[in-house]
Structure 1
Amino acid sequence: MSAAYFIAGTDTDVGKTTVAAGLLHAAQLAGLSTLGAKPVASGCEATAKGLRNADALALMAQSTLKLPYEQVNPFAFEPAIAPHLAAREAGVALSVAALLAPLHEVLAQGADFTLIEGAGGWRVPLSDVANLSDLAIALKLPVILVVGVRLGCINHALLSAEAIARDGLQLAGWVANIVDARTSRLEENLATLAERLPAPCLGRVPRLKGISAERVAEYLQLDLLD
């Protein structure tokens, strides 16, 4: 197996990084080399080494191929706001072209299993004229969709899947991440998602008290990916 995927979410705070780290760990358990990247991240912490993002660090921790932080997360912004707004405040010009070069370097490492994680949902703006989805389109990567299971998730998931297909990309699989364990009619909602999303469900991650890549990996099935 040697493949790369773009990780997208149905919204912000749906557990993209939690699932991505779990997928990377599951790939390691299968004997695969792994590499994760988060090209744009807001909500970063100022450190002696520069701005650092917890999501990017989590991906690095589950990557068997080691790259400098700046290659994993080339655009880091401190305020926890939409990337295009954070970039504007920092005086940085975000564009698909600016992101392609560092990501091509990531993909050129040739890991057996590579994940490129987006930010927020599928149509998050990257600049005044581009969305982060344009980056996935430019990379021509199949997409793994993380569905944050809570009230309204069916609509968000189906609209995201439709947009991914309309953009000409393959939805390779989806993961149900139970962000609200008290979701009314949980089983019925999951059944509807399974019936209507045009890709296999790679796993159902319950609401965990102690979240770790190792624990999340227990609920995921990489062998369902094409």
Structure 2
Amino acid sequence: MAKTFFVTGTDTEVGKTFVTRALMRAAKEAGKQVLGYKPVASGCELIDGSLKNEDALTLQAESSIKLPYAMHNPFAFAPAIAPHIAAEQAGEVIALPRIAEGLTRLRETTADWIFAEGAGGWRLPLGQGHFLSDWVKKEHLPVILVVGARLGCINHALLSLEAIRHDGLVVAGWVLNRVDAHMSHYEENAATLKQLISAPFLGEMPRLTEDEAETAEGFIDLAPLLK
């Protein structure tokens, strides 16, 4: 059965997809067949008659095995708002069993590793009192935290790690992503994070242009995940 990692972030817009793609590429370089999974996505466009999300399309394109879009992203909503609100507006329920079923189907393929990317931060509400983290807990998935380097990130990172561990999950590693190119005292903040975070450090992603990001390689160290 494919080993599955859940990729979460310290907040929304911290580069989870950018980092997940980098993780997938590094895994392929290590000889793994990989798949990307985006259980819930809002901010989707109508493409070929169905709603599709840019981030989920990125994960689909980076996957080693060609599968239908819906297998990568079972819940897709048009408005770029919190998914539980988008689902309510669409008259849908984001059901945890359907998310679990989607992962099971991916695990039935020949993939070695699956990277499941969350939406927003760790405690993402899905509606009806449920959170996406409830599913991660039920699956006992090791978690990779993407820390978006900007003002306040140390607090956000430590609180996220505390919540993940409080939920009884293993933090498989963390990645620092420089989302704010003009962050004051970036190096000092990065050093503080590396000192305070007691989890494997998987890499540091620099601030890249969109074109540079398309070909970005060599920033991820998968060694801790290969153990």
TM-score (norm 1): 0.95
Decide whether the 8 Å contact of 1:9 with 1:16 is kept in 2: yes
Secondary structure (helix, strand or coil) at the match of 1:212 reads: helix
Partner deviation per Cα, 1:54-112 (whole Å, 9 max, x = no partner): 00110011110222111110110000000100100001011222311111111232422
Partner of 1:149: 149
Partner of 1:182: 182
Q: Does 1:66 align with 2:72?
A: no
Q: 1:118–1:211: structure 2 CA closer, same or farther, 3 Å change rule?
A: farther
Partner of 2:123: 123
Correspondences of 1:23-172 after superposition (within 5 Å):
23-172=23-172
Partner deviation per Cα, 1:104-140 (whole Å, 9 max, x = no partner): 1112324222101110000110113111111111111
Decide whether the 8 Å contact of 1:32 with 1:113 is kept in 2: yes
Task: Write the distance in 1 (CA, Å) between the matches of 2:214 and 2:220.
Answer: 11
Partner deviation per Cα, 1:18-61 (whole Å, 9 max, x = no partner): 00011101111122111011011000001223111000110011
Structure 2, unmatched stretches of 5+, are none
Decide whether the 8 Å contact of 1:25 with 1:213 is kept in 2: no
Partner of 1:199: 199
Partner deviation per Cα, 1:166-212 (whole Å, 9 max, x = no partner): 00000000000000122111111111111111211111000001243
Q: Quick one: which amino acid aligns to residue 49 of structure 2?
A: K
Secondary structure (helix, strand or coil) at the match of 1:56 reads: helix
Partner of 2:215: 214
Task: Write the distance in 2 (CA, Å) between the matches of 1:119 and 1:104.
Answer: 20
Secondary structure (helix, strand or coil) at the match of 1:121 reads: coil
Q: Quick one: which amino acid aligns to residue 100 of structure 1?
A: A
Decide whether the 8 Å contact of 1:25 with 1:214 is kept in 2: no
TM-score (norm 2): 0.95
Task: Write the distance in 2 (CA, Å) between the matches of 1:98 and 1:4.
Answer: 17
Aligned residues: 224
Secondary structure (helix, strand or coil) at the match of 2:6 reads: strand
Task: Write the distance in 2 (CA, Å) between the matches of 1:30 and 1:76.
Answer: 31
Task: Write the distance in 1 (CA, Å) between the matches of 2:24 and 2:132.
Answer: 22
Task: Write the distance in 1 (CA, Å) between the matches of 2:150 and 2:130.
Answer: 29
Secondary structure (helix, strand or coil) at the match of 1:119 reads: coil
Task: Write the distance in 2 (CA, Å) between the matches of 1:49 and 1:18.
Answer: 26
Decide whether the 8 Å contact of 1:56 with 1:73 is kept in 2: yes
